[in-house]
Amino acid sequence: MTASIKDYLMLHFIVLIWGFTAILGLLISLPSIELVFYRTLIATIGVAFLFLLKKKRLIIKPKDMLQVTGVGFIIATHWILFFWSAKVSTASVCLAGMATTSLWTAFVEPIFNKTKIKWYEVALGLMVISGLLVIFSFEGGYWLGLVMALASAFLAAVFSVINGNLTQKHSPYQITFYEMAGACLCSALFMPFYSLFISDGGVKLNWEGYDWFWLLILGGVCTVYAFSVSVELMKRLSVFSINLTINLEPVYGIVLAVMVFGESEKMTPEFYLGTGIILVSVLSYPVLNYFNRRRKSKRMTGIS
């Protein structure tokens, strides 16, 4: 099927939704552990409902079930650090750190798939580090939030690479269901440790104000809806165009954060300079990767 302008606009809308998740994390009064628990619980129920609606097969082999559920533990840790980062700093700082996800992937993927690291990936990695140094130099008060965001971005790269291999065996919907269930289980199992050693007031599961509404948006719209639409778009859009657009998530998120929270999200000019350096490197990666593959393809064609 041929991609239409509507498809590209829908892709940008999905990325805009994903960019809104850090803001939702600040709008919801719940701490990050409890927030992730409710998000994954809602997402698990939502995906299960989609399976019933579409009458698709949900059950997979027990061994595969354990493997995919285990990836959910990585996803839970990623989201806990993501929302925690936004709460101890700002949504903008969180998204600046998350902008490094695709470059973490560039280094993680060769390790998992036993391939060579490309020279331009190293160069872009150094460029990202320079951007982070600029942010650290002028926004030292947010160092904890930025470190959490970087760790979250690394975990996002890890489970993305693993998911790339899992999609060869299972449908994306099956993977999402068991990963969300695993993430929900992980956050639930972590709660006693969190209550005893980290939180002063114990586990907080009670909603306040409009928490229930924001949680439904986070679990239903930002997780189940956004995922199902992105899978549908993969039938018509190239992987290159999708990955390039997803790299704009931090840009959309930072703009939305300033619009929603105003002065509290406005940072120093140096912060935006550092973030700009990171985003330029991130956006450069898929372009350089595309031309590198094209050059290799021409070389192979010439040899044959």
pLDDT in tens, 140-154: 678 899 899 999 999
Residue that is written with structure tokens 């269930």 in the block: 181
Q: What is the 3-state secondary structure (H, E, C) of 154-183?
A: HHHHHHHHHHHHHCCCCCHHHHHHHHHHHH
- pLDDT tens-digit profile of 87-138? 888 888 888 888 788 778 778 888 887 777 777 777 877 787 788 777 767 6
| Series of mean pLDDT values for 10-residue runs along the chain (304 residues) | 74 89 91 93 91 81 91 95 90 83 79 78 77 71 88 90 79 85 95 81 85 94 84 66 69 81 74 80 74 75 54
pLDDT of amino acid 95 = 82
Task: Give the per-residue pLDDT at 124.
Answer: 77
Q: What is the DSSP string of the chain?
A: ----HHHHHHHHHHHHHHHTHHHHHHHS-S-HHHHHHHHHHHHHHHHHHHHHHHT------HHHHHHHHHHHHHHHHHHHHHHHHHHHS-HHHHHHHHTTHHHHHHHHHHHHHT-PPPHHHHHHHHHHHHHHHHHHHH-GGGHHHHHHHHHHHHHHHHHHHHHHHHTTTS-HHHHHHHHHHHHHHHHHHHHHHHHHHT-SS-------TTHHHHHHIIIIIIIIIHHHHHHHHTTTS-HHHHHHHHTTHHHHHHHHHHHHHGGGG---HHHHHHHHHHHHHHHHHHHHHHHHHHHHHHHHHHH-
- One-letter identity of residue 227: F
**pLDDT of the residue at 77:** 96
* Predicted local distance difference test score (pLDDT) of residue 304: 45
